[in-house]
Amino acid sequence: MYVIVAGGGKVGFHLARMLLGAGHEALIIEKDRPRYLELTEDIGESVLFGDSSDAGVLKEAGANRADVLVACMGKDEDNLVTCQMAKHLFMVARTIARVNDPTNEELLRSLGIDATINSTRLIDALIEREVDAEMLVPLFSLGAGKLEIVQTAIPDDSPVAGKPLKSVALPKDCLIISVIRGGDPLVPAADTVLQAGDGVVVLLTAGKAESLRKVFAN
């Protein structure tokens, strides 16, 4: 599977790195030169310098053979333009856009974006305690459903609360890619201590949901 990730911020970087680690082909398109140079130091040739809303850049990225394009830049309009160009000019089968302003979510969907990721809505669900360790909320799937990204929360009595990430025994092919704490997404490290009330975003292979749920639930 070939995935183009438009935007090399924290979300785009970790998504691309996880995909590469899972054996998929992934390419980040980043238009900020200093950030592009930082990314190349970490993942080498899997980064392209340029503006993903430029048709020439998408062509150079090989959008005509991409299975999925994920636009996760800071501006909704950039994500919209990139997804529309990928779908209509290069016939990318599946486009996914990050939505920063919740009021734009329906607009993006009405304009043909296959899926939207609204972090504000997810954080609100965590605050309202609608998401807990008994519920894994699917964010999106990749590779014809072979890979999934889900979100859940750590309850007060979770066995992992108070433990550093490196000591949490996750099922095989499961990886925590973000921790949401106090409404802010964090990039986790091995020594990040998970806390009750944290939201966690996990990349996993299909069929691992039940095993993952048991890790967080008491």
> What is the full per-residue pLDDT of the chain (218 aa) written as tens digits?
899 999 998 778 878 887 887 788 999 999 999 999 999 998 899 999 999 999 999 999 999 999 889 898 888 889 989 999 999 899 998 888 888 777 777 777 777 777 776 665 554 554 444 444 556 676 666 655 677 888 888 888 889 999 999 999 888 888 888 888 876 777 788 899 999 888 888 888 877 777 888 888 76
Phi and psi at residue 128, in whole multiples of 5°? -80, 0
Q: Which CATH superfamily is domain 2-117 in?
A: NAD(P)-binding Rossmann-like Domain (3.40.50.720)
For the beta carbon of residue 10, count every other beta carbon within 10 angstroms. 14
- Amino acid at position 63, single letter: A
List the one residue out of 106, 112, 155, 107 whose CA is nearest residue 134.
155
Give the bridge partners for 117, in sequence order: 98
Cβ within 8 Å of residue 14, ≥6 positions away: 177, 178, 187
pTM beyond 0.85, yes or no: no
Task: Indicate the CATH number for domain 129-216.
Answer: 3.30.70.1450
Domain with CATH 3.40.50.720 in the chain: 2-117
List the one residue out of 200, 123, 119 whose CA is nearest residue 154.
200
Domain with CATH 3.30.70.1450 in the chain: 129-216
